[in-house]
Amino acid sequence: MSMDKKLSKTIDYESIFDIELSIEEYSEKLEDLLKHSRIGIVEQRKILRQKVQEFKDKKKRHLADVRKRK
């Protein structure tokens, strides 16, 4: 396992997760979090794409659940 992958597993992604954030806000916070880690730029971009997509999916599920409750 590469050093970047090992470092990426130690990052606390949940610390910036807030379902109330917009996708852009989440993306900015995630980018800042990754910049302060010692992960290479290629791995940062890969993680950014993956985590932003996960956030979008969670946000869609959350909004769907809210609509069902109404």
What integer pLDDT is reported at residue 38 of this predicted model? 85
What pLDDT, in 10s, does the model give residues 12-70?
999 999 999 999 999 999 999 999 998 899 999 999 999 999 999 999 999 999 899 87
Closest C-alpha among 69, 21, 18, 23 to residue 48 = 23
Q: What is the pLDDT of residue 69?
A: 86
- What is the total count of domains within the chain? 1
- Among 32, 59, 62, 61, residue whose Cα is nearest residue 47: 32
pTM > 0.85: yes or no? no
Runs of H (alpha helix) within the chain: 3-9, 23-35, 41-69
Higher pLDDT, 25 or 8: 25
- The SS3 call for residue 16 is helix
User: Range of 8's domain?
Assistant: 3-69
pLDDT at 1: 66
